[in-house]
Amino acid sequence: MGNGTDNPRPAGSFKFVLKWIAAHKDVKGNERADEEAKKAAQGESSPPEELPPILRKWLPYSAAAIKQDYREGLKSRWLEDWGMSPRYAKFQHVDPDFPFNKYRTISDEITQASWLARLA
């Protein structure tokens, strides 16, 4: 039983090898590959007729990227609405050293050992 490499490839087919390369790790050509990947992601790819048939169709959208874009849009619209809200102006007069912030700052500085010493 072979690993499939002993089978002859049909005429006009291509051998495609994909390797994971950690970003910016002194790999020759990595910067150029990064630039080309960015171009391809922006739609600046090779003309479709120059690509193998399997690569001529559009890739599916990433669900995670769609969700991230949606959340960023929501946050941007919320910040815009908040900035125009009458409550925003009122909150600008709230002391940034409000007791909760002071408590959080102080409690962050207290070590676990000092808490135990206080409890003893």
- pLDDT of the residue at 58: 75
pTM of this prediction?
0.38
Please check whether residue 68 lies inside any domain of the structure.
no
Residue 33 forms part of a structural domain: yes
Cα 37 from chain centroid (whole Å): 15
Domain that includes residue 43, residue range: 26-59
Cα–Cα nearest to 88, from 78, 98, 97: 78
Number of domains in the chain: 1
Q: What is the pLDDT of residues 11-67, one digit of tens each?
A: 777 777 877 766 666 777 777 888 888 887 787 777 878 888 877 777 778 899 999
In this structure, which amino acid lies at residue 11? A
Point out the least confidently predicted range of 45-49, 51-55, 103-107, 111-115. 111-115
Q: Give the model's pLDDT for residue 69.
A: 94
